[in-house]
């Protein structure tokens, strides 16, 4: 089955700095890679996603890059703000079979942005 | 609120009791997923419905777990003879299906088995 590994597990940055979180996946059939932000006690919130037919996608201060050959993808947050503090999860879908794009999640990265 | 909703938000039960959770997906979303999340971990897939058909079940889903989506709208997840290891956050997500892969999560039901 799919295995998704995420690094680092914790990340502390100064407000205004950039943050980068990296994930690797194992299933070459995966073709959809979302990122979720989860604040304490709240639901995972989809913040950006990328499909395997593109290498990069950007939405304001957030960007995601994908390297299909190396099977890794990364989340980049620029000009971090205290409200970016949360746990971030990467995920990869199962691109074949009946699983309807069930997601396998990484272990999460706790991002702390210090004011 | 037109997002995914779940009920109850919290459930405390004694070991051995049965519990049932409900999920109402976003209207017109034909795909519905159940995940389980334990503290400090990412969500783990449990099962998936396309309309009323349950198409996939994880090996994590023991015989004590059963899920239904009888009319292709809301879904229920039942856990029989609960064990302390069942304590977790149970998350429901829905997606529009077809080429629309985005999954939107509900607030979850936090289960505590004492």
Tell me the pLDDT of chain B (114 aa) as tens digits.
579 999 999 999 999 999 999 999 999 899 999 999 999 899 999 999 999 999 888 888 889 999 999 988 999 999 999 999 999 999 999 999 877 789 999 999 999 999
Instruction: Test B103 with A100 for CB contact under 8 angstroms.
Output: no
In whole angstroms, what is the distance from residue A28 CA to residue A96 CA? 10
Q: Which of B30, B45, B46, B97 to mutate to test the interface with A (most CBs of A within 10 A)?
A: B45
Sorted by sequence, the CB contacts under 8 Å of residue A31 that are 6+ apart come out as A51, A52, A53, A93, A95
In whole angstroms, what is the distance from residue A3 CA to residue A55 CA? 21
Tell me, what's the pLDDT at A25?
96
Q: Contacts of residue A98 in chain B, CB cutoff 8 Å? A: 55-56
Tell me, what's the pLDDT at B3?
93
- Cβ-Cβ contacts under 8 Å between A and B: the total is 67
Is residue A86 predicted with pLDDT exceeding 90? yes
CA distance A15 to chain B (A): 24
Instruction: Test A34 with B31 for CB contact under 8 angstroms.
Output: no
* A91 touches B: beta carbon within 8 Å: yes
Outline where DSSP puts E strands in A1-115: 4-7, 10-14, 19-25, 32-38, 45-51, 56-59, 62-67, 72-77, 86-93, 103-105, 109-114
In whole angstroms, what is the distance from residue A105 CA to residue A37 CA? 12
Let me know if B33 is exposed, middle or buried by CB neighbors in 10 A (0-12, 13-18, 19+): buried
In whole angstroms, what is the distance from residue A100 CA to residue A94 CA? 8
In whole angstroms, what is the distance from residue B82 CA to residue B15 CA? 5
**Residue B84 backbone phi and psi in degrees, to 5:** -60, -30
Helix (H, G, I), strand (E, B) or coil at A98: coil
pLDDT band at A72 (very low <50, low <70, confident <90, very high): very high
Per-residue pLDDT, averaged over A1-24, amounts to 96
Tell me, what's the pLDDT at B21?
98
Instruction: Test B43 with A105 for CB contact under 8 angstroms.
Output: yes
Antiparallel, parallel or unpaired: β B109-113 and B104-105: unpaired
Tell me, what's the pLDDT at B72?
87
Tell me, what's the pLDDT at B18?
98
Q: Which of B42, B98, B109 to mutate to test the interface with A (most CBs of A within 10 A)?
A: B42
Tell me, what's the pLDDT at A18?
98
pLDDT band at A23 (very low <50, low <70, confident <90, very high): very high
> Between residues 52 and 91 of chain B, which touch chain A (CB distance below 8 Å)?
55-56, 91
On average, the pLDDT of chain A sits at: 94
Among candidates A32, A46, A102 on the partner chain, residue whose Cβ is nearest the Cβ of B45: A102
In whole angstroms, what is the distance from residue A68 CA to residue B1 CA? 37
Of A86, A18, A88, nearest to A48 by C-alpha is A88
**Residue B85 backbone phi and psi in degrees, to 5:** -70, -10
In whole angstroms, what is the distance from residue A59 CA to residue B87 CA? 36
- Flag the least confident range among A55-69, A84-98, B13-27: A84-98
Is residue A99 predicted with pLDDT exceeding 70? no
* A7 touches B: beta carbon within 8 Å: no
Q: Contacts of residue B95 in chain A, CB cutoff 8 Å? A: 100-101
Instruction: Test A32 with B101 for CB contact under 8 angstroms.
Output: yes
Q: Residue B37 carries which DSSP code?
A: E
Q: Which of A100, A105, A106 to mutate to test the interface with B (most CBs of B within 10 A)?
A: A100
pLDDT band at A1 (very low <50, low <70, confident <90, very high): confident
């Amino acid at each position: 089955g799919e295995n998704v590994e995420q690094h680092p597990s914790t990340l502390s940055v100064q407000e205004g700095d950039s943050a980068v979180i990296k994930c690797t996946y194992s299933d070459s059939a995966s073709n959809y890679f979302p990122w979720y932000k989860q604040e304490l006690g709240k639901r995972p919130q989809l913040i950006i996603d990328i499909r395997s037919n593109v290498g990069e996608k950007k939405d304001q201060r957030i960007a995601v890059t994908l390297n299909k050959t190396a099977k890794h993808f990364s989340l980049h947050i620029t000009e971090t703000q205290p409200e970016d503090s949360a746990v971030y999860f990467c995920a990869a879908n199962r691109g074949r079979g009946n699983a309807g794009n069930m997601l396998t999640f990484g272990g999460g990265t706790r991002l702390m942005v210090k004011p | 609120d037109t997002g995914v909703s779940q009920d109850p938000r919290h459930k405390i039960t004694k070991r051995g009791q049965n519990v049932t959770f409900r999920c109402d997906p976003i209207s017109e979303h034909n795909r519905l997923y159940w995940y389980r999340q334990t503290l400090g971990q990412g969500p783990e897939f449990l099962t998936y419905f396309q309309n009323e058909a349950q198409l996939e079940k994880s090996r994590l889903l023991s015989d004590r777990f059963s899920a239904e989506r009888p009319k292709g709208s809301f879904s229920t997840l039942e856990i029989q003879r609960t064990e302390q290891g069942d304590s977790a956050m149970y998350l429901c997500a829905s997606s529009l299906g077809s080429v629309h892969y985005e999954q939107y999560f509900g607030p979850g039901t936090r289960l505590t088995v004492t």
